[in-house]
Structure 1
């Protein structure tokens, strides 16, 4: 049993031609698996506040550091981080534990993987909970092309693709400063600023707002990225158009029971017509920014448990 101040010890398992670092708790709660998928630039440790409540509720909690993170494999090829590889890792993880399906919960990029898991491997997803990032509608224009047209070359998704290696090196050189500046709450709005947002954060010497986690927690993230560098995780962004192509081969409708949780102070807006694509969805919002698990862990846990119990 783990408590909110502890996190399971990791093990490495071989799946889908990579090794994944897995944090596991409540393994005696067989046939009630829930797989938690972190975002960028996060770590499996971001789910530490959810472990004990889920175990106590009878779930087998499985938290991977996805490829490119922590002690998991960091393939060199950019295409090794496309949505096919990322979801196939989760399918292989289910197979490893002899589970036909599981509940999936994702935050940020992890939510994108969970949405895609429901589309590409619908029989393997029992139900799902996504935080911060709503369903992404696949329009007629590939995602990166759309972002470049509407947000410009300095938008960080676009910059990562058009100037490969530039941001990677700057974030590597300023890992502590970048993470310290990024993981904040109640940050006063600065409006639009010239340059690439993530590079600006990495170089900023004035830290705004309040920290969303302790220095000890932040050190877990910083030490992890100092080991891997930022390129493997940024390579996820370099597959957005490839992902757009892959997802064009399947139905865009998500049929699984779903809970979508927004942060009311997050800059990512809700998707107004989300029920057109996810008809069996419940939507909630918490008084938080983007880092919902860090900012409002108790409120989030209550919301999750009530939904899981009633769904």
Structure 2
């Protein structure tokens, strides 16, 4: 079995006006690129179980810490984190490694960026595997506006946008506790609490459920966010309505073959109309929560590798 503790060393790669901290493995498999895109509040290291399995299966694996994360650049302007910049980073990363296109795998916010990349730069993407977050339909009104109306001002997406700096400060002050409380699985159901969920989590003394990772694995995430703070990563949320506008002219149909992996107990809503926007989609559901590739690494790897083999990627 590949050893996930054997995570590659990082290099800084200049792309699109910033530098990305990139973890690369399997260069001897050049010609079969797979790019792994983490979510929030994550790190390239969230793919530690997938990297060795993909290399062993013959892929050249490229795992960036995206802008705002880890050792990558953290521009000050909020608009530097919109989908145009984030997808532009990935296009420039392909250019750096000399690839016309690649298969992209995204989890959570990384999935949002991969969907956006596929809409904005379709010729650079030959296949998509997304975990947790399905394709988001672009409705008549901007996303945050709708969320505010339906879910209220305390919903964390809305709060991040309407009260800039407030959540960042709470998370920065409680980094270790917040990440420990967030990365849990098999959590007992509980009544919704008043206030903003992420701030509540950061202040909670007692974690629920079971840890998703070992203390030494969690320490990688804690040390990264203690060094960077949370503002860069939260700025991704602060561009949702801007992203809604930036995607206005894109053809909304994803033509590439896609594997969508859901966690049965994930709180992220599934898409009822996925196949209308993603006609070549195959759906796999695993018995886990939100942190799919970390909760069930072997099952995730099996789903990914089986699908890639079928695509002849």
Within the alignment, does 1:32 sit opposite 2:32 as a pair? yes
Within the alignment, does 1:112 sit opposite 2:108 as a pair? no
> What's the counterpart of residue 135 of structure 1?
135
Tell me the alpha carbon deviations over residues 26-85 of structure 1, each in whole angstroms, 9 at most, x when there is no partner. Answer: 011111000000000000000000011100111000000000000000000000000000
Aligned residues: 311
When the two structures are superposed, what TM-score results if normalisation uses the length of structure 1? 0.99
> What's the counterpart of residue 78 of structure 2?
78
> What's the counterpart of residue 4 of structure 1?
4
Q: Distance in 1 between matches of 2:222 and 2:152?
A: 29
Within the alignment, does 1:296 sit opposite 2:292 as a pair? no
Tell me the alpha carbon deviations over residues 211-269 of structure 1, each in whole angstroms, 9 at most, x when there is no partner. Answer: 00000110000000001100000000000000000001111000000000000000112
> What's the counterpart of residue 260 of structure 1?
260
Q: Distance in 1 between matches of 2:55 and 2:3?
A: 9
Tell me the alpha carbon deviations over residues 139-197 of structure 1, each in whole angstroms, 9 at most, x when there is no partner. Answer: 00100000000000000000001110000000000000000000000111112210000
Q: Distance in 2 between matches of 1:97 and 1:295?
A: 31
Q: Is the 8 A contact 1:126 1:256 kept in 2?
A: yes
Q: Give the 5 Å matches for 1:22-61.
A: 22-61=22-61
Task: Say which SS state the counterpart of residue 288 (structure 1) adopts.
Answer: coil
Task: Say which SS state the counterpart of residue 64 (structure 1) adopts.
Answer: strand
Q: Distance in 2 between matches of 1:115 and 1:15?
A: 20
Q: Is the 8 A contact 1:3 1:51 kept in 2?
A: no
The unaligned stretches of length 5 or more in structure 2 are none
When the two structures are superposed, what TM-score results if normalisation uses the length of structure 2? 0.98
Q: Distance in 2 between matches of 1:236 and 1:119?
A: 18
> What's the counterpart of residue 286 of structure 1?
286
> What's the counterpart of residue 154 of structure 2?
154
